[in-house]
């Protein structure tokens, strides 16, 4: 798989990464460890060299899984993890106190079985802690050799600028997809100006853009999609028109809807890297193959014009989760 550079800080990763959250947390029951390790290692064998996790995914359990799976390949992969959630429990809110950041860093080093964290994100901006203090703490960790790169997640433009002035931000991780193009208004221009890479999570909109989810899909009781307005039965029915557009373009390219959605993202900027997640080997193979699909100008115009006519129904987060997004 081709490589991409995230911003101007020298971090090179595979063009498509693997978001590992769903292996243990958030999108239904965790899959068994043997299957999860096999999937992670299969991704590595197929060229994925960028893996994303966080302290708050199963309170370190996701990090432990990734550490175990990637230990034999550690020198050849980039691992990103995150701090900023109180006690590693999303339900408890945010905590980016500098002392807490250091605790998370030490835990992550242990769980990931590594001596350095390649990319350390603030998971969400904590309104109670000045971003300068957060950036300064990560800067100290970088100087101590415990972290290589600093990242932010779902941060607004003012926060990005303030953090970057203290410690250069290598990457911003936020939601970006055909279903959620809000970053194009302010975020992407600022990232380009400052030389910061963009890591796109939910590039397939929690599975919706694969075409495998419809109004009759039943989610497990532990699945966060049960709490997301866009995934109500009524909104899924209305939003199905998005999939029809993708299917039309996919048919011409002999690809799948998911592959077109990922290829569209890759075509936006050379420093954008999507990190789709999956628990299934066949979906993993499908996603990785998207890196080899090139959409021409006509394809991109057709997709953009069609999606511009569609009004997506439902918010992307619950009201409670939306409060954690920095403006």
| H or E segment to which residue 104 belongs | helix 98-111
Alpha-carbon span 113 to 214, nearest angstrom: 40
Task: Record the tokens describing residue 275, joined without a space.
Answer: 């990190």
What is the Cα–Cα distance from 19 to 83, expressed in whole angstroms? 16
The set of residues, in sequence order, having a beta carbon less than 8 Å from that of 98 and lying 6+ positions away, is 129, 133, 134, 136, 137
Q: Up-side HSE of residue 137: CA atoms within 13 Å toward CB?
A: 21
Residue 317 catalytic?
Answer: no
Distance CA 118, CA 234 (A): 42
Q: Find the largest Cα–Cα distance for the chain.
A: 54
Residue 145 φ/ψ region, left for φ over 0, alpha for ψ in the -120 to 50 degree band, beta for the rest: left
Report which of 113, 80, 108 is spatially closest to residue 100, judged by C-alpha positions: 108
First to last CA, the chain: 35
- DSSP states of 180-197 as a string? --GGGTTHHHHHHHHT-E
- Report which of 123, 128, 157, 127 is spatially closest to residue 138, judged by C-alpha positions: 123
State the catalytic residue, choosing from 57, 111, 121, 176: 57
Is the distance from CB of 12 to CB of 5 less than 8 angstroms?
Answer: yes
Tell me the sheet residues that pair with 153. Answer: 173
* Residue 277 CA to its chain's centroid (Å): 8
Helix, strand or coil, per DSSP, at residue 86: helix
Rounded Cα distance, 139 and 147, in Å: 8
Residues assigned a catalytic role: 57
């Amino acid at each position: 798989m081709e490589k991409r550079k995230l911003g101007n800080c020298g971090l090179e990763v595979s063009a498509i990464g693997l978001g590992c959250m769903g292996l243990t947390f958030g999108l239904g029951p965790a899959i068994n460890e043997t299957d999860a390790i096999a999937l992670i290692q299969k991704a590595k064998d197929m060229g994925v060299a960028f893996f994303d996790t966080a302290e708050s995914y199963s309170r370190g359990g996701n990090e432990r899984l990734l550490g175990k799976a990637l230990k034999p390949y550690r020198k050849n992969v980039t691992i990103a993890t995150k701090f900023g959630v109180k006690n590693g429990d999303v339900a408890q809110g945010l905590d980016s106190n500098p002392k807490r950041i250091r605790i998370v860093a030490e835990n992550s080093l242990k769980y990931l079985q590594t001596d350095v964290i390649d990319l350390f994100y603030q998971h969400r901006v904590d309104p109670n802690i000045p971003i300068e203090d957060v950036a300064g703490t990560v800067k100290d960790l970088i100087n101590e050799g415990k972290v290589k790169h600093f990242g932010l997640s779902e941060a607004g433009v003012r926060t990005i600028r303030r953090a970057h002035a203290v410690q250069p931000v290598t990457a911003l991780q936020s939601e970006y997809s055909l279903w959620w193009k809000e970053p194009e208004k302010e975020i992407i221009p600022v990232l380009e100006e400052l030389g910061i890479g963009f890591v796109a999570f939910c590039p397939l909109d929690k599975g919706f853009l694969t075409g495998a989810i419809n109004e009759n899909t039943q989610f497990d009781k532990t699945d966060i999609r049960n709490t997301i307005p866009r995934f109500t039965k009524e909104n899924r029915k209305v939003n199905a028109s998005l999939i029809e557009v993708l299917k039309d373009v996919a048919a011409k390219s002999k690809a799948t809807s998911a592959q077109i959605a990922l290829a569209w993202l890759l075509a936006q900027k050379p420093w954008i890297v999507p990190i789709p997640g999956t628990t299934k080997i066949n979906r993993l193979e499908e996603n990785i193959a998207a890196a080899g699909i090139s959409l021409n100008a006509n394809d991109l115009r057709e997709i953009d014009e069609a999606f511009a006519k569609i009004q997506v129904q439902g918010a992307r987060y619950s009201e409670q989760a939306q409060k954690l997004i920095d403006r």
